[in-house]
Structure 1
Amino acid sequence: MSNTLAISLDKIRSDRKNPIADFDNKDAVITHFLHNNKNGVSKFFRKDAIAYTNEIIENYVSDGLIEYFTESNYKLEIFQNIEIPFVPNQKPKFKFIDLFAGIGGFRLALQNLGGKCVFSSEWDKKAQKTYRVNFGETPFGDITKERVKKYIPDDFDVLCAGFPCQAFSIAGKRGGFEDTRGTLFFDVAEIIKRKQPKAIFLENVKGLKSHDKGKTLETILNVLRNDLGYFVPDPKIVNAKDFGLPQNRERIYIVGFRKDLQISDFEYPKPIDKTVSFSDVKEKDVVETKYYLSTQYLQTLIKHKERHESKGNGFGYEIIQDDEIANAVVCGGMGRERNLVFDDRITDFTPTTKIKGKVNRNGIRKMTPREWARLQGFPDNFIIPVADASAYKQFGNSVAVPAIEATANEILKLIVE
């Protein structure tokens, strides 16, 4: 019976004429219920989970299975992925929510520390797919919508959010809560205001510090400290290379604590004493030919760099040696071009994709998505179910897991008894 439905669910996701309206949101409700059906959080999903389950079954499974799902036994377990690499903690030390979740970097870090994710949200469909196959849960969609916010449970401990950076229109204003309307930070602030978690942990690009001449960060801190009443120490620029990853990736971390906890001091984690290099994450086996640059593409990169160097600019491709650390992995082609590597193990130079020219004989290739995953601290059992272009984007947008974990550990020391 479960195998029959599993096949049906695959069909639902690939069926462009899917008769289940808003299926991804309904799958989010069902999977969130499944992960929380043994704690008090289940009440936020229970009624809709049962209704949506019956609706899906009525459309895709024979009538004989309908009776299997009743309010008294709610056997929705067959909607759950049986085998996922990162199973939720059954006896968690704390609860957290994962906003702008991406592919689950925050979730992975906080689960490693004994936490239980009770709500996740991510609007990108391909990132949702990666999240689900790894954690068995579909994140809710657009967090700006009230129909999504209504599912956020009460009484969780930590709010995590890697929210996008946006400018605020604060000219001539005090730069408070109302002045952030229309930005994604406003939705984060609104959730904090409603739910009052013990702690908040926000991550953003380093440029947030100087964004709009510092006004954006100033407004964020003013909202958190004065409007929402949280103790927020000065934000910290944290580099992934200081936490065991061979990547020069700087991001700004903002943490905060509810004032009634009477926390007045917080220290970000100190860098660990560990020397790492690209060789630590390099593929052990020969890499597929498709990752090697064509001769024409390589010449284009060389000429592009030469033009910029003649003007005194430092732009252009870069080749990372095995004993060096990578540049930051970011979205877009430049993130890959500034992280090329030498790998002369290739023996078959037959192109496997349409390229102009031939496969270069210098052993110059792009890093693979798995190497990018390792640069961000994702373990090798993390499943990559999407095409390479999407995988590069997802890991480029993600957080450096060990740096997040080290910082979260310092937070938990203050809020978890």
Structure 2
Amino acid sequence: MSIIRVADLFAGIGGIRLGMCQALGRNARTVYASEWNKYSVQTYQANWHDGFDIDGDITKVSADSVPDIDMLLAGFPCQPFSIAGVSKKNSLGRPTGFQDKTQGTLFFDVARIIKAKQPQAFLLENVKNLLSHDHGRTFATIYSVLTEDLGYHLKYKVIDAAGFVPQHRERTYIVGFKEANDFSFDTVKPIKHGNVGSILLPVEEISDKYVLSDKLWTYLQNYAAKHKAAGNGFGYGLVNEKTDRARTLSARYYKDGSEILIDRGENKNPRRLTPRECARLMGYPDDFIIPVSDTQAYRQFGNSVAVPVIKAIGKAMKPYLANSHKDTSDVSIIQ
């Protein structure tokens, strides 16, 4: 069976991997993963059974220890770059490379592994503001490194997951290919999906612990009223089963759940989403195992990607991926 060997960097709980596996099917085989958060690793290992250890801090990983790969996936954190240092070297006529431009940032580790392993393609994910971060200088550096220094052909786009799940979630996606081709984000089309009601569990399955206390509900209402009076748009987001799209689920959801509260009817306090409902909101299947506490689960799904978006991007990439490696072993993936 021809396979695409995949490296999963900043893997989290495996959301980017899951979407790509759904797109490529049994052609995708993850051969390497790196994630530093121990709770995310716990969830990752509960769902993926690869036969290799997950590396921790990627900054301490030698590129030599990463197996040969055909595709690199990474949802790397957004950090500013030291433009001044590069400008100084330019003024002195000294050559600069990606190491000079990106050293000290986590993108540097993505770049050095791409340089060392030369995958035929990669998919990077980041926040919407990556494009405007530090007045555009951050993305300009990333684009320069990937195209000029590493020689890849790049396409990028901000996509709102609302076309794939009932949640507004704008993220920047960057696709790179070693060889020029006709890949286009124009082929990444929204899919038909349900409203907020489609991800909710039956009422009888919801524990009372997810219902907001009188104290917290009063605080959120007063907080919202205060900011409304000041002309600000801050406040809780109240939805019900008929709501088309919820606000963006964030990693801070465990604190008070204020961005997405489920209306339980008149004279009743609203409730948080359960972790399983958060998983559904992000496009994870119901057989995805959640082995951690509610607090950690909220953080993990709030930091995750919307899986169906990755699947759609992966399907758009698939025609341009060469089957460069033969392997007859079984491939264990979640569909």
Classify the TM-score, shorter chain.
0.7 to 0.9
2:54 corresponding residue in structure 1: 139
RMSD, aligned α-carbons? 1.9
- Report how far residue 109 of structure 1 moved: 1.5
Deviates most, 328-337 or 161-170: 328-337
Please give the secondary structure, in 2, of the residue aligned with 1:408.
Answer: helix
Structure 1 residue ranges without an equivalent (≥5): 1-90, 345-359
Contact residue 231 and residue 264 of structure 1 kept, 8 A: no
User: Which of 250, 256, 277 is equivalent to 1:330?
Assistant: 250
Q: CA deviation at 1:326?
A: 1.1
* Distance across 1 between alignment mates of 2:30 and 2:167: 27
Distance (Å, rounded) in 2 between the aligned partners of 1:382 and 1:222? 38
Map 1:304-323; keep pairs closer than 5 Å.
Answer: 304-323=223-242
Q: Distance in 2 between matches of 1:266 and 1:275?
A: 23
Distance verdict in 2 for CA 1:386–1:273, change over 3 Å: closer
Contact 1:93 1:416 (C-alpha < 8 Å) held by counterparts: no
1:238 aligns with 2:159: yes
Partner of residue 276 from structure 2, selected from 358, 370, 373:
370
Match status 1:186 vs 2:108 = yes
> Retained in 2: the 8 A contact 1:328–1:335?
no
Q: CA deviation at 1:320?
A: 1.2
Cross-structure match for 2:291:
385
- The residue type paired with residue 81 of structure 2 is F
Give 1:410 deviation, angstroms.
Answer: 1.1
- Once the 2 structures are TM-superposed, how far is the Cα of residue 273 of structure 1 from its aligned partner? 4.6
List alignment gaps of at least 5 residues for structure 2: 91-95, 324-335
Q: Once the 2 structures are TM-superposed, how far is the Cα of residue 268 of structure 1 from its aligned partner? A: 4.3
Match for residue 72 of structure 2 among 154, 159, 164: 159
- Offset from partner CA, 1:113-171 (integer Å, 9 cap, x none): 22110101100000000000111245211111135x432111x2110000000000113
TM-score, structure 2 as length reference: 0.87
Q: Does the Cα contact within 8 Å between 2:188 and 2:313 map onto a contact in 1? A: no
Distance in 2 between residues matched to 1:268 and 1:370, nearest whole Å: 32
Summarize the alignment of residues 99-178 of structure 1 with structure 2, pairs less than 5 Å apart: 99-112=9-22, 113-114=24-25, 115-137=28-50, 138-147=53-62, 149-154=63-68, 156-171=69-84, 173=87, 176-177=97-98, 178=100
Shift of 1:190: 0.4
Q: Which residue of 2 aligns with 1:404?
A: 310
CA distance in structure 2 between the partners assigned to 1:295 and 1:279 by the alignment: 25
Q: Provide the C-alpha distance between the structure 2 equivalents of 1:273 and 1:240, rounded to a whole number of angstroms.
A: 10
Residue 16 of structure 1 corresponds to none
Q: What SS does the aligned partner of 1:116 have?
A: strand
- Name the SS of the counterpart of 1:150 in structure 2: helix
Deviates more, 1:105-114 or 1:281-290: 105-114
Q: What corresponds to 2:211 in structure 1? A: 292
Bigger relative contact order, structure 1 or 2 (CA pairs below 8 A, ≥6 apart): 2
> Which of 194, 205, 208 is the aligned partner of 1:276?
194
Q: Which has the larger radius of gyration?
A: 1
Structure 1 length normalisation: TM-score?
A: 0.70
Identity %: 44
